[in-house]
Amino acid sequence: MKKLNFNNRWVLITGASSGLGREMALVLADREKANLIIAARRKHKLDLLKEQIERKKNVRVEVIQIDLSQPDGADRLFQQAIAIAPVYAVVNNAGITFYGKTEKKHIEFYEEIVRVNFLAAMKLNLLFLPYFREQGEGAILNVTSHGAFIPMPYQNVYAASKSACQFFCEALREEYRNSGIVMCIYVPGGIYTEMYSKSGIENNVPWNNLVMMAAPTAAKKAIRAFKKRKPLTITGLFYKLNHLIIRFFPRKWVVYVTGKIYKPKTGNSQK
C-alpha cells in the first residue's frame, strides 16, 4: 500500500507544546519535511518550537493557542487551522491524566480529562472527516493509551476517557473504511514526558520505570506507523505482551492486579 507522503504538506498536531506531540512535530519536520500547525495552551512553548524548527529546517510552522477543554475549543482549532492552509493530516495527541484515588472532590478535573481526551478528539475527527472527503484525501492519527484496554484503578477517569476514544476511533474507522481517508490509532505504553513526571506514578510505582519509553523513540514509532497507514499500533514489548495476555484472564483479576500495582503509597499523588 502506498505510504503517506507528508512532504511539503500541512499537518496539524494537538498537544505539541511538550512530550510526545513536540517530538512528533520534530520527526514530521525533520524526516518528513512536513509543514506544521502546532497547537496547545502554552504559546511560549509553541513559539520556541516553531523557532527551533524553522531555524534548521526548510519547512513552515504556524502556532495556534487553544484550550481543548473549552466546549468550542475543537471547533475553533478546526476553523483556525483550515484558514492557515489546506490541512493534509491531523494528529490528535493532546491529553491529560490524573493519578490517585478517585474521589468527588476532583470531579471538575475529571470532567476536564474527558473533555480533552475524548470529546475534543471526537469532535476533531468529525470535523476533519467531511473536510478531507471534500479535499479528496486526508489522514488522522489518534493517540490513545494502553490504559484504553484496562479499567485502571487510580487512573480511573484517564483510562475511561482513553477507552472511549479508542472505541470511538475503531468504530469510526470501520464506518469510513472505503472513504479514502486514512485513520490510524497509536497506543503508547509509558513514555517519559511531563504527563508521567507530574502524575506521581514515577515515585509510587518504581518498577514502571523499567518499561518506559523515551519520547523521541515513541514519536518515531508513531510517525513511522502512521506513514505506513497502520490501523493500530501498540508500542513496547511489555505492552504488546500485556495486551495479548490480559485476554486470557477474567477482567476482574486484571483489574484487581492493576489496582494492587498502581495503588499510591502516598494518598492522592496528583494535584
Ligand X SMILES: NC(=O)c1ccc[n+]([C@@H]2O[C@H](COP(=O)([O-])OP(=O)(O)OC[C@H]3O[C@@H](n4cnc5c(N)ncnc54)[C@H](OP(=O)(O)O)[C@@H]3O)[C@@H](O)[C@H]2O)c1
CA-wise closest residue to 77 among 141, 11, 34, 124: 124
Among 27, 29, 34, 96, binds ligand X (CB under 6 A): 96
Applying CB under 6 A, the span of 103-111, 194-202, 240-248, 257-265 interacting with ligand X comes to: 194-202
Question: Reduced to 3 states, what is the DSSP secondary structure of residue 45?
Answer: helix
Name which of residues 44 to 63 contact ligand X (CB under 6 A). Answer: 45
CB atoms closer than 10 angstroms to residue 246:
17
Per-residue binder mask for ligand X (CB under 6 A), 154-193, x = binder: ----------------------------------x-xx-x
| Amino acid residing at 266 | T
Question: Reduced to 3 states, what is the DSSP secondary structure of residue 2?
Answer: coil
Name which of residues 99 to 128 contact ligand X (CB under 6 A). Answer: 116
Among 18, 203, 208, 242, binds ligand X (CB under 6 A): 18
Secondary structure (DSSP) of 133-178? HHHT--EEEEE--GGGGS--TTSHHHHHHHHHHHHHHHHHHHHTTT
**Looking at beta carbons only, is 1 or 93 nearer to ligand X?**
93
**Looking at beta carbons only, is 16 or 254 nearer to ligand X?**
16
Secondary structure (DSSP) of 70-93? STTHHHHHHHHHHHHS-EEEEEE-
CA-wise closest residue to 66 among 84, 86, 52, 51: 84
- Cell digits of residue 22: 513536540
Q: Does 66 bind ligand X (CB under 6 A)?
A: yes
Per-residue binder mask for ligand X (CB under 6 A), 201-240, x = binder: ----------------------------------------
Name which of residues 127 to 146 contact ligand X (CB under 6 A). Answer: 143, 145
Residues in contact with ligand X by the rule CB under 6 A: 14-21, 40-42, 45, 66-69, 93-96, 116, 143, 145, 188, 190-191, 193-196
